[in-house]
């Protein structure tokens, strides 16, 4: 069964739970070559709810083949056309959300007026005609126009996350992602209610990138980190295990510096970045080379658990080690780790220390602490007993085991008291 095509809907869809807000940034630049004038656009996304920046997407526009469609998008990035005659709103993508997301299909945005798929307009009026169908939807990362049928192009667009040949001849492809496909993949995997993101991700700002402008692919946080946030944007051979080990160790050390200074947010950011590089490399490395990345991955996963706990003043925390997807209150998606006690952005993968090393006592200890946060004391007890079998002399494990047993006893005593009152 194929997914429904990207659309500009006529009526608002059913309202589901209100998503938490997020923001983003988008810019553009022109360049020449490849048979005609082209343009590029950069999108940076972040969540207002405090999760920080997600990343940037740089788009190249096919202005030589579809100049009218490309110019519409370019002008909507800059906001230079003023107020729309139909919507009465600024013709500008700034503040516009990605309102529709379908995994293994596409991410859709561009409704700057109603922000739900029912609005928007082009710089030429409410709608304009299909320019041509020269380009096909034959791969991920293509930029195409959403519509409500033939010749109904407005401002709404979508980015494919897989080949979508069933859209050929129906939607005008007018650009492609040249940097930041990892950001699109994160968006593709956010939690949704139906097709609506549960967390509102929007374009925080937008404009045109001139020739020679910085695309913003490299971090500028003063940490000494000189690597793109997403491995897909790095000019490095992911099969070169020596290079990947060098990069990940460097990033881990930067994370350790933040960790020691108790800057938990930055530490977790760098450790998560390490895991993105490890995850991407593991997908293409020879089987014999994979284990060389295990130590750095394990170290980062464990430190993420510690940093996440420390960052939450109430002690109710999300730990990557806890989330194995088996608990009825837990939910796991490739782009987000979700537990009943909170949320932790986790890139485009799920990895746990116990998947890396099932006998790691530190991981078992940390996961037991996570179960206690959920008041799942039996689960915590099981992990601590397993850890004690591996390291019977570890005093921290012994102390935690005693604490859990006391909590279990207190819980049972409380239940007995309740039952006694019921049958008194």
268 and 161 co-located in one domain: no
Q: How many domains does the chain have?
A: 2
386 and 291 co-located in one domain: yes
CATH code, domain with 256: 1.25.40.10
- Asked if residue 178 is part of any domain, the answer here is yes
pLDDT tens-digit series, residues 292-308: 998 898 888 888 877 66
- Asked if residue 7 is part of any domain, the answer here is no
- Whether 203 shows a pLDDT value over 80: the answer reads yes
Degrees, nearest 5: CA angle 187-230-186: 10
Rounded to whole angstroms, how far apart are CA atoms 47 and 203?
Answer: 10
Instruction: List C-alpha distances in Å: 241 to 246, 254, 277, 354.
Output: 8, 20, 11, 23
Token pair 């897909």: residue: 232
- Asked if residue 293 is part of any domain, the answer here is yes
- Asked if residue 173 is part of any domain, the answer here is yes
Q: Which has the closest alpha carbon to 84: 147, 154, 157?
A: 154
What average pLDDT does the segment 379-399 reach? 89
Question: Which of 176, 209, 242 is at the close of a domain?
Answer: 209
- Asked if residue 13 is part of any domain, the answer here is no
334 and 285 co-located in one domain: yes
Phi, psi (degrees; rounded to nearest 5) at 101:
-135, 125
pLDDT tens-digit series, residues 325-351: 223 333 333 322 222 223 333 322 233
401 and 258 co-located in one domain: yes
148 and 252 co-located in one domain: no
- Whether 230 shows a pLDDT value over 60: the answer reads yes
* Residues, the chain: 424
For residue 251, the tally of other CB atoms under 10 A from its CB is 27
Percent helix, strand, coil in the chain (nearest 5)? 35, 20, 45
- pTM score, whole prediction: 0.69
pLDDT tens-digit series, residues 341-383: 233 333 222 335 555 566 677 777 777 776 776 678 898 898 8
Residue bearing the bigger pLDDT, 235 or 88 = 88
pLDDT tens-digit series, residues 398-416: 999 999 999 999 988 888 8
Reduce the DSSP state of residue 28 to 3 states and report it: strand
What average pLDDT does the segment 182-204 reach? 88
- 2-16, 82-96, 239-253: least confident range: 2-16
197 and 257 co-located in one domain: no
Residue 216 pLDDT class (50, 70, 90 cuts): confident
189 and 260 co-located in one domain: no
Structural domain of 345: 231-412
**Residue 321: predicted pLDDT:** 30
pLDDT tens-digit series, residues 125-144: 999 999 999 999 999 999 99
201 and 254 co-located in one domain: no
As a whole number, the mean pLDDT across the chain is 78
pLDDT tens-digit series, residues 239-287: 999 999 999 999 999 999 999 999 988 998 999 999 999 989 988 988 8
88 and 142 co-located in one domain: yes
342 and 268 co-located in one domain: yes
Rounded to whole angstroms, how far apart are CA atoms 81 and 176?
Answer: 24
**Residue 19: predicted pLDDT:** 28
Burial class (CB in 10 A: 0-12, 13-18, 19+), 150: exposed
36 and 116 co-located in one domain: yes
- Asked if residue 8 is part of any domain, the answer here is no
- Asked if residue 354 is part of any domain, the answer here is yes
**Residue 44: predicted pLDDT:** 43
- 152-166, 214-228, 350-364: least confident range: 350-364
Q: Which has the closest alpha carbon to 104: 19, 203, 195?
A: 195
Is residue 232 a contact partner of residue 58, using CB atoms and an 8 Å limit? no
**Residue 360: predicted pLDDT:** 72
- Whether 17 shows a pLDDT value over 90: the answer reads no
**Residue 6: predicted pLDDT:** 75
**Residue 64: predicted pLDDT:** 93
**Residue 307: predicted pLDDT:** 64
Question: What percentage of the chain has pLDDT greater than the value 90?
Answer: 46
Question: Which of 177, 209, 241 is at the close of a domain?
Answer: 209
Is residue 273 a contact partner of residue 229, using CB atoms and an 8 Å limit? yes
Is residue 362 a contact partner of residue 341, using CB atoms and an 8 Å limit? no
Is residue 35 a contact partner of residue 129, using CB atoms and an 8 Å limit? no
- Whether 208 shows a pLDDT value over 70: the answer reads yes
**Residue 123: predicted pLDDT:** 98
263 and 186 co-located in one domain: no
- Asked if residue 325 is part of any domain, the answer here is yes
CATH code, domain with 101: 2.40.100.10
Residue 54 pLDDT class (50, 70, 90 cuts): confident
**Between the CA atoms of 308, 310, 311 and 317, what dihedral angle is there, to the nearest 10 degrees?**
50
Residue 111 pLDDT class (50, 70, 90 cuts): very high
Q: Which residues are catalytic?
A: 100, 105, 108, 147, 158, 167, 171
- Whether 27 shows a pLDDT value over 80: the answer reads no
């Amino acid at each position: 069964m194929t997914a429904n095509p990207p659309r500009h809907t006529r009526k608002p869809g059913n309202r589901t739970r209100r998503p938490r807000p997020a923001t983003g940034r988008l810019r553009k630049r022109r360049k020449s070559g490849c048979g005609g004038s082209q343009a590029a656009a950069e999108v940076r996304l972040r969540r207002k709810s405090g999760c920080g920046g997600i990343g940037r997407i740089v788009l190249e526009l096919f202005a030589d083949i579809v100049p009218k469609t490309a110019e519409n998008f370019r002008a909507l990035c800059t906001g230079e056309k003023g107020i729309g005659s139909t919507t009465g709103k600024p013709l500008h993508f700034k503040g516009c959300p990605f309102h529709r997301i379908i995994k293994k299909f596409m991410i859709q945005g561009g409704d700057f007026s109603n922000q739900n798929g029912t609005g928007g307009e082009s710089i030429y009026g409410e709608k304009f005609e299909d320019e041509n169908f020269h380009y096909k939807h034959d791969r991920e990362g293509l930029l195409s126009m959403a519509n409500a049928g033939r010749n109904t192009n407005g401002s709404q667009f979508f980015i494919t996350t897989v080949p979508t040949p069933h859209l050929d001849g129906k939607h005008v492809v007018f650009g492609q992602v040249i940097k930041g496909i990892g950001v699109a993949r994160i968006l593709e995997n956010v939690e949704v209610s139906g097709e609506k993101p549960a967390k509102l991700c929007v374009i925080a700002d937008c404009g045109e990138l001139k020739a020679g402008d910085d695309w913003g692919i490299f971090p500028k946080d003063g940490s000494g980190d000189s690597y793109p946030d997403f491995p897909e944007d790095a000019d490095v051979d992911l099969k070169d295990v020596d290079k990947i080990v060098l990069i990940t160790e460097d990033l881990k050390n930067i994370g350790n510096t933040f960790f020691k200074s108790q800057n938990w947010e930055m530490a977790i950011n760098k450790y998560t970045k390490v895991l993105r590089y490890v995850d991407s490399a593991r997908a293409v490395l020879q089987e014999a080379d994979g284990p060389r990345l295990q130590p750095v991955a394990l170290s980062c996963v464990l430190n993420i658990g510690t940093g996440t706990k420390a960052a939450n003043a109430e002690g109710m925390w999300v730990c990557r080690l806890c989330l194995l997807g088996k608990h009825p209150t837990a939910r796991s998606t490739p782009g987000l780790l979700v537990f009943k006690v909170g949320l932790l952005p986790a890139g485009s993968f799920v990895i746990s220390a116990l998947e890396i090393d099932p006998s790691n006592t530190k991981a078992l200890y940390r996961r037991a602490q996570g179960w206690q946060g959920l008041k799942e004391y039996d689960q915590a007890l099981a992990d601590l007993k397993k850890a004690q079998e591996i390291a019977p002399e570890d005093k921290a494990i012994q102390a935690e085991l005693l604490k859990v047993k006391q909590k279990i006893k207190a819980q049972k005593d409380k239940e007995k008291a309740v039952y006694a009152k019921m049958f008194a």
